[in-house]
Structure 1
Amino acid sequence: MSDLTLRLAVLDMAGTTVADDGLVMHAFEAATAAAGIPATGPEHDRARQYVLDTMGQSKIVVFRALTGGDEDRAQQANAAFENAYGAAVADGGATEIAGAAETIGRLRRAGIKVALTTGFSAATRDRLLNALGWNDIADLVVAPSTQVRGRPYPDMILTALMALQIDDVREVAVLGDTANDITSGVRAGAGIVAGTLTGAHDDTALRAAGATHIVSSVTEFGDLLTH
């Protein structure tokens, strides 16, 4: 980091700051039905594994891949996924990962701006924030859009950097639980790209993607940035 000061922390949501107790895979089952993917058998198993492997990516991109580029089926699958996930979140299916809110507050009090990012749509992002009471917890919350590509692209991180007027990409620290989170941080040129062990991918996968640090949780990440 040389003499640069960390000025922005970009934190993933599901699996990193939010525990959703397997809701992604629950919602995946609703999506496969809407896309016409069999409920059992090899095709279903391949689709399920693909979803696991691509955790962190924009969900519509994942469903486009699963449906072979059939946009109508992909949109139907994505709508079913978002509806199922959003309904489960509204029923209390998502909670903060222990220490997440306290860590975000600690970072901001230390003068580090915080942006949350997600592979969910803006509508599902808002449902999740509402359910957690997190509407004002961060300086910015970014979701993929027609102008901002989701992971593994660096767009969400760079969008946060520009919106929050950070001068240098090396002043950014990224935290995520998937290889795609790590890849996006590396591509953005962030000074710290940390993997957390509270979500989808393990130490080996996170290091292979280029993580500069591995932490046990978001709390340890906070310690790393404010020591």
Structure 2
Amino acid sequence: MTTLDTIRTELVVLDMAGTTVLDDGVVERAFQRAAERTGVADRMPWDAALTYVRDTMGQSKIDVFTHLADGDRAAAERATAAFEGAYAEIVDEHGVTEIPGAADAIQGLKDAGLRVVLTTGFAPVTRDALIDGLGWSGLVDLVLSPVDAGRGRPAPDLVLTALLRTRTSSVEAVAVAGDTVSDVESGRRAGAGFVAGVLTGAHDRTALGDAGADAVLADVTELRASLAERGRLALVSG
């Protein structure tokens, strides 16, 4: 249902791994390599550590490793560096692939007059390598990591930094989409006008809905139509 006073979307904030970038277990494998190389998760069985990694997908990697290291920040920093190195190794081994249709979906949002910002829990070096590998440097308006914003997800900082840097008029004019509970919670905490979960990554429909998603979509290619159905876009064509 639409109303005459519906605020139109100006900015779309999209997660990377699992939402626009195909993950295919890469994050989990990189976490495991980092844990093995640094011993950061030795205080618990790996199955328990992996469950925590899955539950916290989308969050800042330094925060996840700080928990796994029982609060030892120095150990977490070493493990985070090892994670970034392991992730780069895996990407070098297998390449990087977009979620099918993601680039066209982003371009469609741009064609509708929206600004698009990508956010991630990865450090800038990994984030930029993914963008370069996909050839997306000219596709989006901005790409942000936790270090650019203050705190990682589920805090609202990444969404609010995207709003400020793109000079978006209000939080109500922001749409957020991601594949994890942390993505949804970040959007909700920021006050975004529309928050969607997508089913191409870590968490399922129930988890995303329980986290407060306004809609749960099969993938990011459905986002533009979902915004239009709610009166947040003037027109969907093509």
Q: Which amino acid letter does the alignment assign opposite residue 87 of structure 1?
A: E
Rounded to whole Å, the distance in 1 between the matches of 2:203 and 2:187 is: 16
Contact in 1 for aligned 2:173/2:192 (Cα 8 Å):
yes
Distance 1:38 1:176, change over 3 A: closer
TM-score, structure 2 as length reference: 0.90
Rounded to whole Å, the distance in 2 between the matches of 1:171 and 1:82 is: 33
Do structure 1's residue 36 and structure 2's residue 60 form an aligned pair? Answer: no
2:172 to 170, 175, 184: 170
Q: Secondary structure at the match of 1:222?
A: helix
- 1:224 is displaced (CA, Å) by 1.6
Q: Which amino acid letter does the alignment assign opposite residue 23 of structure 1?
A: V
Q: Secondary structure at the match of 1:141?
A: strand
Q: Deviations over 1:184-221 (max 9, x none)?
A: 00001011100001100000000110001111010011
Rounded to whole Å, the distance in 2 between the matches of 1:93 and 1:50 is: 26
Q: In the alignment, which residue of structure 2 is the partner of 1:160?
A: 162
Structure 1 alignment gaps of length 5 or more: none
Q: In the alignment, which residue of structure 2 is the partner of 1:121?
A: 123
> Could you say what the CA RMSD is over the residues aligned between the two structures, in angstroms?
1.7
Q: Secondary structure at the match of 2:147?
A: coil
Q: In the alignment, which residue of structure 2 is the partner of 1:21?
A: 24
Q: In the alignment, which residue of structure 1 is the partner of 2:231?
A: none
TM-score, structure 1 as length reference: 0.95
Q: In the alignment, which residue of structure 1 is the partner of 2:135?
A: 133
Q: Which amino acid letter does the alignment assign opposite residue 54 of structure 1?
A: T
1:221 to 217, 223, 230: 223
Q: Which amino acid letter does the alignment assign opposite residue 16 of structure 1?
A: T
Q: In the alignment, which residue of structure 2 is the partner of 1:151?
A: 153
Count of aligned pairs: 226
- 1:91 is displaced (CA, Å) by 3.2
Q: In the alignment, which residue of structure 2 is the partner of 1:70?
A: 72
Q: In the alignment, which residue of structure 2 is the partner of 1:193?
A: 195
Structure 2 alignment gaps of length 5 or more: 229-235
Q: Secondary structure at the match of 1:18?
A: coil
Rounded to whole Å, the distance in 2 between the matches of 1:36 and 1:214 is: 37
